[in-house]
């Protein structure tokens, strides 16, 4: 297969972790007979430095012409960066919002899985962890508070800021269908998270999700208020299979879920449109404080590349080879500093990428 991928290294540790992910993809291509063609574009702070905007129209057009997009991370230190001394629509993260909207990426999939090798890094008590957890957070990505009308102005002599949370039934229905489709391939449980006791948008959300659920009789639907969900994630994470929620709630809950896995550096992410096209990125940020030090964990980006193979290219076997290689490296005791534990072998970004590539080779050699 010939795959055309737009690569966005981004800011901070982004270039380092994307480099390792592309190296893993190239190894998969060499072993399985695929070709991955990369076209690099700028987005985020580096684009601001070069062009004065976080995402140019030309860069967006390049992304649209590709088969998928692989992203590192964007942004800098909010309290100590010139990138943030401008209007919100000119800051690095505005590029991410713009590319999601421009590519029609409405469904964000964030797995949260506890590797048994990292159980000691989990901040929860062992009796809470139990046999571990394996969940997927399905977050609506292009509606809600982040995309509603907003302004700051004086009202009766008082500075007042307004953000608008809006959803229509079509936006809710299409993300609900994605969630139920994924649940059918997993443990057939959807927990829909809202704030229906307060918000009109959540009451509509609940109504539409219940309508969609009627087409999936095998899937159990449960409603949960967002504050209760935040609590349940740290009290009983094993109860969750697929969490379905709106944009801001999903943003917060997915970060919470990532931390109970032991490291946000382990978690992949996919953002999909209504077809096969997707943008794949790690769940973590740009971590400018460790950029260039060869200590960033590339596993989340590598696993995001595996998700790309599975969701955009239907290369399930190849995706599984990457996931198995990551598992093997962890089983053998190799760790980056963020997941380091007593008795393990600490490695850097480049070495972790090399080790994963090497085990893809070893795995295929055994099969053939």
pLDDT digits (tens, 9 = 90+) for 323-342: 999 999 999 999 999 989 89
Active site residue 146: yes
Active site residue 38: no
Out of 49, 227, 314, 316, the active site residue is 227
Out of 11, 115, 195, 280, the active site residue is 195
Give per-residue pLDDT as tens, 120-164.
878 889 899 988 899 999 999 989 999 899 999 999 999 999 999
Out of 26, 134, 181, 255, the active site residue is 255
* pLDDT > 90? residue 290: yes
- Which residue, of 260, 276, 302, is where some domain finishes? 260
Out of 67, 115, 146, 311, the active site residue is 146
Number of domains in the chain: 2
- Which residue, of 210, 238, 260, is where some domain finishes? 260
Q: Are residues 137 and 103 located together in one domain of the fold?
A: no
Active site residue 227: yes
Q: Are residues 298 and 333 located together in one domain of the fold?
A: yes
Give per-residue pLDDT as tens, 56-112.
999 999 999 999 999 999 999 876 678 988 888 899 999 998 998 899 999 999 999
Structural domain contains residue 118: no
Q: Say what the pTM is.
A: 0.84
* pLDDT > 60? residue 363: no
Average pLDDT of the chain is 93
pLDDT at residue number 99: 94
Question: Domain containing 228: what range?
Answer: 123-260
Structural domain contains residue 116: no
Taking residues 192-216, what's their average pLDDT? Answer: 98
Out of 251, 280, 311, 338, the active site residue is 251
- Which residue, of 212, 227, 260, is where some domain finishes? 260
Active site residue 84: no
Closest alpha carbon to 45 in 79, 92, 89: 92
Taking residues 287-292, what's their average pLDDT? Answer: 95
* pLDDT > 80? residue 302: yes
Q: Are residues 243 and 141 located together in one domain of the fold?
A: yes
Q: Are residues 297 and 252 located together in one domain of the fold?
A: no
pLDDT more than 70, % of the chain: 98
């Amino acid at each position: 297969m010939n795959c055309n991928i737009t690569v966005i290294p981004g800011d901070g540790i982004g270039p380092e972790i994307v480099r390792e992910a592309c190296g893993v993809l190239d190894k998969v291509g060499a072993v399985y007979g695929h070709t991955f063609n990369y076209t690099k574009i700028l987005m985020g702070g580096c684009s601001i430095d070069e062009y004065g905007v976080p995402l140019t129209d030309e860069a967006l057009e390049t992304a649209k012409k590709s088969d998928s997009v692989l992203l590192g991370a964007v942004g800098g230190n909010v309290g100590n960066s010139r990138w943030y001394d401008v209007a919100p629509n000119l800051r690095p993260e505005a590029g991410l919002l713009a590319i999601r909207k421009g590519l029609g990426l409405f469904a964000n999939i964030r797995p949260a899985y506890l590797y048994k090798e990292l159980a000691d890094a989990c901040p929860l008590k062992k009796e809470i962890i139990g046999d571990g957890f394996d969940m997927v957070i399905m977050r609506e990505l292009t509606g809600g508070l982040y995309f509603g009308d907003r302004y700051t102005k004086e009202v009766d002599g008082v500075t007042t800021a307004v953000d608008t949370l809006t959803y229509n039934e079509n936006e809710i229905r299409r993300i609900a269908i994605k969630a139920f489709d994924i649940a059918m391939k997993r443990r057939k449980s959807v927990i829909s998270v809202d704030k229906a006791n307060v918000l009109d948008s959540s009451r509509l959300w609940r109504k539409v999700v219940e309508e969609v659920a009627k087409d999936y009789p095998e899937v159990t639907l449960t409603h949960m208020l967002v504050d209760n969900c935040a609590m349940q994630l740290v009290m009983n994470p094993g109860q969750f299979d697929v969490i379905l929620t709106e944009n801001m709630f999903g943003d917060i809950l997915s970060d919470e879920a990532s931390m109970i896995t032991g490291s946000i550096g382990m978690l992949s992410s996919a953002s999909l449109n209504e077809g096969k096209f997707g943008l794949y990125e790690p769940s973590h940020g740009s971590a400018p404080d460790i950029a260039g030090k060869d200590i960033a964990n590339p596993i989340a980006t590598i696993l995001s590349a595996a998700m790309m193979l599975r969701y955009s290219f239907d290369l399930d076997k190849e995706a599984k080879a990457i996931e198995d290689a990551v598992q093997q490296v962890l089983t053998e005791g190799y760790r980056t500093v963020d997941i380091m534990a007593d008795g393990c072998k600490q490695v850097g970004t480049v070495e972790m990428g090399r080790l994963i590539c090497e085990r893809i080779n070893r795995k295929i050699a055994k099969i053939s």
